[in-house]
Structure 1
Amino acid sequence: MEFLIEQILNGISTGSVYAIVAVGMTMIFGVLRAINFAHGEYYMLGTFGGWYAISALGVPYPVAIVIGVAVTAAIAFVIGRLVMERMIGAAPEASVVATLGVSLVLQNSVILAFGGSYKFFSEGYIEPVFFGDIGIAQQRLLIIGLCILVFAGLEWMVSHTRIGKAMRAVSQNTEACAVVGIDVRTVVIATFVLGTSLAAFSGILTAPVNVSVYGSMGEIITFKTLPIIVMGGLGNVRGTFIAAMILGIAESFVAGQFGLQYRDSVGFVTLILMLLWRPHGLFSSHARF
């Protein structure tokens, strides 16, 4: 029973990380109808931003989170203006090529700037909290709590704010929004910066658990995010949350039963099965936001 509870808690923690990353990608897909294959690189940028702030500037961990997200948001804004604006109404193939190109540029830029070696992320709240005989790191509890806050905040934003309602409108009908005077480009940029900032936020939250920071760390995150947004229904935010939890718990049990080397295969197997059995996902893609 203790093993079962521990694996579920670890799975919820992992699923929370995936959920924060994936919700950014699914929101970007909702307004652009394009999958951002560079999404994992923003996760990596946020982690590197936090690591550099701690290592070079000596700031505490909470301040490093703010710096990492802010730097990533600034980079995303520039890329949004230069690249993502041009994806509005473009063919899906164009977005694939463009975002793959951005991924290569970002990844190699970081490797050139900081080197290809692994870096040690030294901050965070790694002390365990015990519930009886079951221990879980404080950082994992923090990730779970912040994931709930992020989704509650997104739910409030898209329902009660002007930009949130505009995002919902653009996700439903881009042409009609342009006709009635909604600035589609501004909405796209705002959604893109928000989505990539969430990926950066997730990266910094996960860094104390992963410990290592390296230039290509975003690749596996991108490919784990894909089965989540497919399973959740492309563009469906609530479905993304549930799918992320399912994948996180499944990975936790596979790692606990068979070993860590099999954990990463769960996402790829899930993606193949979903594409074969239910390519539109477990939840309706029409229920965006």
Structure 2
Amino acid sequence: MYFLLEQILNGVSSGAVYAIVAVGMTMIFGVMRAINFAHGEYYMIGTFGGWYATSALGLPYPAAILFGVAVTIVIAYVIGKFVMQRMIGAPVEASVVATLGVSLVLQNTAILIFGGSYKFFSAGYIEPVFFGDVGIAQQRLLIILVCILVFLGLELMVGFTRMGKTIRAVSQNIEACEVVGIDVKKVVMTTFILGTALAGFSGILTAPVNVSVYGGMGEIITFKTLPIIVMGGLGNVRGTLAAAMILGIAESLVAGHFGLQYRDSVGFITLILMLLWRPHGLFSSRARF
């Protein structure tokens, strides 16, 4: 029983990580109607930023989080300005090719700068906390807490701020927004930077748990994010959170009972089953934002 509870807690923390990453991709899809296949690379950039801040600059972990997110935002701004804004109204195929190209550029640039070897991330809060006989690392509890705060913040922003309302408007009808004078490019840029910043933030939060940092770490995150946004309903923020938790707990249970080597297969199997059985997701797309 204690082993099962530990697996569920670890699954919830993994689901929290996936949720923070996936909600960014979901929001970008909502305003652009395009899947960002480079989204995992921003997770990688944030992680490398945090690793460089702690290992080379000697910054404490909280400052490394800010440094990694700042680096992610700067790179996202450049890419958003020269690539993503040009994808507004473009065919889906164009956005797929463009984001895949960006993914390759970012991944290979990181390998060129930092090398292809694995880096050790030594910062973070890895001491365990025990609830009776059930133990969980402090970092995993921090991830769960941050996930709750992120989704509460997004709910408040989308529901009560001017920018949140314009994001909802653009997600519903781009042409009508242009007619009434909404700066669609500005909304796309803001949403893109917010989504990529969340991915980078998630990477730094997860680094103490993953321990290893390497140039290709973004690929698996992108492939795990895809089944989440499909299962949650494309563009559905609340559905994304529920789908991420389902996938995280399922992966943890499979890894605990059948072996770690089978964990990553859960996401791919989920994606195939969802596309065959319910391609619109488990939750209504009308709940977008």
- TM-score class, shorter: over 0.9
Query: In the alignment, which residue of structure 2 is the partner of 1:181?
Result: 181
Residue type of the alignment partner of 1:243: A
How far apart, in 2, do the equivalents of 1:287 and 1:83 lie? 28
Tell me the equivalent position of 1:281. Answer: 281
Per-residue CA deviation, residues 95-121 of structure 1 (Å, 9 max, x unaligned), is 000000000000000000000000000
What CA distance in whole angstroms lies between the structure 1 residues aligned with 2:48 and 2:190? 23
Q: Distance in 1 between matches of 2:281 and 2:195?
A: 21
**CA shift for structure 1 position 285:** 1.4
Deviation at 1:152? Answer: 0.2
Query: Are 2:121 and 1:121 equivalent residues in the alignment?
Result: yes
Distance 2:259 2:171 in 1: 41
**Aligned partner of residue 286 in structure 1, secondary structure:** helix
Q: Hey, what's the Cα distance between the residues in 2 that align with 1:43 and 1:5?
A: 28
Is the counterpart of residue 57 in structure 1 residue 54 in structure 2? no
Aligned counterparts of 2:272 and 2:92: Cα–Cα separation in 1: 20
Task: Name segments (4+ residues, structure 1) moved above 6 Å.
Answer: none
Deviations 1:203-241 (A, max 9, x none): 000000000000000000000000000000000000000
Q: TM-score, normalised by structure 2?
A: 1.00
Question: Taking structure 1 as the reference length, what is the TM-score of the superposition?
Answer: 1.00
Contiguous gaps of at least 5 residues in structure 1: none
Match for 1:97: what amino acid?
V
Deviations 1:132-156 (A, max 9, x none): 1111000000000000000000000
Question: Is 1:149 the counterpart of 2:149 in the alignment?
Answer: yes
User: Structure 2: which 5+ runs fail to align?
Assistant: none
- How many angstroms does 1:286 deviate by? 2.2
Secondary structure at the aligned position of 1:219 is classed as helix
Q: Percent identity at matched positions?
A: 83
Counterpart-to-counterpart distance in 1, 2:143 and 2:48: 18
Counterpart AA for 2:215: G
Q: Provide the secondary structure at the position in 2 that maps to 1:225.
A: helix
In structure 1, what is the Cα distance between the partners aligned to 2:195 and 2:278? Answer: 26
Report the equivalent of 1:104. Answer: 104
Aligned residue for 1:130, secondary structure, equals strand
- The corresponding residue for 2:90 is 90
Tell me the CA shift for residue 199 of structure 1. Answer: 0.2
| Alpha-carbon shift at residue 287 of structure 1 (Å) | 1.5
Structure 1: how far apart are the matches of 2:163 and 2:219? 30
Code of the aligned partner of 2:92: P
CA RMSD in angstroms, aligned pairs only:
0.4
CA distance in 1, matches of 2:31, 2:148: 23
Are residues 1:235 and 2:235 paired?
yes
| 1:38-77 mapped onto 2 (5 Å cutoff) | 38-77=38-77
Paired residue for 2:221? 221
